[in-house]
Amino acid sequence: MFCGAVMFLLGGLDLLLFDGASSAYGVLFLPVCALTALWVRKGDLLTAPVVVPIGFALGLLPVIDGEVGFLGKLMGLVTALATQAPWLYAGTLIAVVTVLVRRVALAARRRAVRKRVAG
């Protein structure tokens, strides 16, 4: 929810300030990925790398160039996703690495608590 809403707002902001510059949108996407992976609940850690690409696509909706109508907008979205794939992959990688680090730290903390209780 957070990632999708923020990316949609940033997409609109990108359209207003930078006339829909794709590089500006991509740069704005990277910190949102890190924040999403940091703010997700412990029980939902593995969902962050799945949610981030969905948020990226939602944020592209105000930015895309496409013909009028559903199929024109869909074609513009597919084209934008294809041309922005490096930003999408980089953001997803940031989310995956952040989630994995959090998961390892959580497991180490649990292990230390169990060792302290047992010992």
Across the chain, which has 119 residues, the per-10-residue mean pLDDT values are 91 86 89 94 89 93 82 89 93 96 93 85
Q: Is the dihedral of CA 15, 20, 25, 27 positive or negative?
A: negative
CA distances from 42 to 32, 35, 99, 106 (A): 18, 14, 9, 8
Distance CA 92, CA 103 (A): 16
Domain segments of the chain as ranges: 2-118
What pLDDT score does 50 carry? Answer: 93
What per-residue confidence (pLDDT) applies to 119? 67
pLDDT at res. 104: 94
Q: Can you give the pLDDT at residue 117?
A: 87
Q: How far apart are CA 78 and CA 98, in angstroms?
A: 27
